[in-house]
Structure 1
Amino acid sequence: MMRFDMRVPGMSVTQIAGQYQAAIEMARWADDKESFSIAVSEHHSSADGYIPAPLLLASSMSAVTNNIGILVAATLLPLYDPVRLAEEMIVLDHISRGRVAYVLGIGYRPAEYELFGLDFARRGAIADEKLAQLQAVFKQAVAAETMPRVTPQPFSQGMPPIFWGGGSKPAARRAGRNGLVLWRRIAARV
């Protein structure tokens, strides 16, 4: 798996742009290598430039590839409007023809919640509310008779693949309550 977080501390804006272009070119290169997949991740307000908009990078990568799977892990659900997120996920689902999956999570950095004007202490409750809204939006998207609803319908059956991320008991309970598989990154950091 190739994982991109786009941390580029101390680089100029030209160098940062070059790093993003290189990541897209790496995705193009890996597309016909059957053993590869791509993961892009998300954090906000990071001094090292950690990517704050992983769906944009995933869209760029899916536009230059045809085969490789892309995982957006993790998407910090409490920081999104569920309707807007569903729309963006559906568009990316069409661009990629169903090759993008998502790991939703709540994050662990208070600075991110401060940036978005959200209460860090309520992040679990916010995630529960927004996950219910996101799932309802996808349910309405496939029910053609429901209005208003997001359009178009997803390319994937029902909705793009969604997992819940985390290694805690609350994360496992949240996944189970909402019919999602718990995604727990097992690989140790080196």
Structure 2
Amino acid sequence: MKIGLRYDMRAPDLGPNSPSPAALYEAAVEQCKWADTQGFDSVYLAEHHGAEDNYCPSPMILGAAIAGSTKKIRVHFSALCITMHHPLRLAEDLAVVDLIAGPGRTLVTAGMGYLPHEFDMFGVDYQNRAEVFERTLGILQEAWSGEEFEFRGRKVRVTPRPVTPGGPTLYIGGNAKPSARRAARLGLGYRPATKDLYSHYEAECEKAGRPSSEAFPEHGPAFFHVTEDPEKALACLAPHLIHASNMYAQWATKRENAAVNGYWSHKDSIAEIRSDPNMWIVTPDEAVERCRSLGADYELRIHPLLGGSAPEISWESLELFAERVLPHLSYQRADAIEHP
């Protein structure tokens, strides 16, 4: 299997001991530097705007900091709300991240966005967001050729070219069947919320005579924390995990397909965290047992700072994971992967 990190950089104010956004960003970069030495495959960075809990609005800047501090770990923007960006500036920024990271280390799962206030914030037509989304995807691909092309009636050129031929790897994200059909029609990879959607994508690719090139990327859990004392850790982490789960569940109700919600559900108590099969707060021995039960193609994604959890607590878990769990696992190290 592969092992990755994920950050959304939520930094809610849950009391006087809540970490500041500055402390969380510093920890995220340092943890990625550490993960790079451990052979972790990818770090996933998310994007939303105008969030009350400081959700990361600028993953490309965070990604550049991580790329410049590491050598092997891939930086995967997932999802990057491409409809919220000026397409030429987006192409430039991603090209520069790619140059900093080196060939094959920058990946983008392009998201259309679903929160109406974000479209209002940037003056983007919510009703025509699918058209804006597809147009932006096309502009990125043209821009990364380094050649002159027409943009809004003018001839333009985006320089410098990305170091990766053709630019960063592009996927389409989604929570409904239209996104699967769109990815198949455009000949792009697909990173949906569910395996059922991926099956629909595979069927659409087959119809188009263009079979998908990879299997559905099974991954999880929602939260993974290794500790010698799960109950003590749960007491410290619960306010942050409840906050994150409730915010994601609340946002999901704003989607057109609200039934697709991944791991997240509304929670009111520690007991609900404890009983959630997607929240793993486990001892090292339990972690080894659970990880060994995962499939060979599974990606274990660790979300160390979920809900603004304290960096020192997340560091304890990561270091215990490296010391007591990793030696017992068979995993594909990033330095053994040949990136394109």
Structure 1 counterpart of 2:168, from 160, 164, 183: 160
Q: Give per-residue Cα distances to partners, 1:88-146, cap 9 Å, x unaligned.
A: 1111001000311000010111111011112212111111222222222223x1x4899
RCO greater where, 1 or 2, for CA within 8 Å and sep 6 or more? 2
The normalised TM-score by structure 1 is: 0.90
Structure 2 counterpart of 1:150, from 140, 158, 163: 158
Matches within 5 A, 1:14-163: 15-98=20-103, 99-139=105-145, 141=146, 143=147, 148-163=156-171
Q: Is residue 7 of structure 2 the alignment partner of residue 4 of structure 1?
A: yes
State the identity as a percent: 34
Q: Name whichever of 178-187 and 24-33 sits farther off.
A: 178-187
User: In the alignment, is the contact (CA less than 8 A) between 2:142 and 2:149 conserved in 1?
Assistant: no
Letter in 2 for 1:115: M
Tell me the distance in 1 between the aligned counterparts of 2:156 and 2:136: 18
User: In the alignment, is the contact (CA less than 8 A) between 2:141 and 2:166 conserved in 1?
Assistant: no
Letter in 2 for 1:120: Y
Larger Rg: 2
Extract unaligned runs of 5+ from structure 1: none
Letter in 2 for 1:78: T
Matched positions, count: 188
Tell me the distance in 2 between the aligned counterparts of 1:171 and 1:47: 28
Tell me the distance in 1 between the aligned counterparts of 2:190 and 2:158: 26
Letter in 1 for 2:133: A
Tell me the distance in 1 between the aligned counterparts of 2:125 and 2:119: 6
Tell me the distance in 2 between the aligned counterparts of 1:7 and 1:121: 28
The normalised TM-score by structure 2 is: 0.52
User: In the alignment, is the contact (CA less than 8 A) between 2:143 and 2:149 conserved in 1?
Assistant: no
Letter in 2 for 1:131: L
Point out 4+ residue stretches in structure 1 off by more than 3 angstroms. Answer: 11-14, 143-148, 185-188
Letter in 1 for 2:135: E
Letter in 1 for 2:96: V
Tell me the distance in 2 between the aligned counterparts of 1:46 and 1:167: 21
Letter in 1 for 2:126: F
How far residue 148 of structure 1 moved from its aligned partner, in angstroms, is 3.7
Q: Is residue 180 of structure 2 the alignment partner of residue 177 of structure 1?
A: no
Letter in 2 for 1:82: P
Tell me the distance in 1 between the aligned counterparts of 2:93 and 2:40: 27
Letter in 2 for 1:2: L
Letter in 1 for 2:84: L
Extract unaligned runs of 5+ from structure 2: 195-219, 221-261, 264-277, 279-340
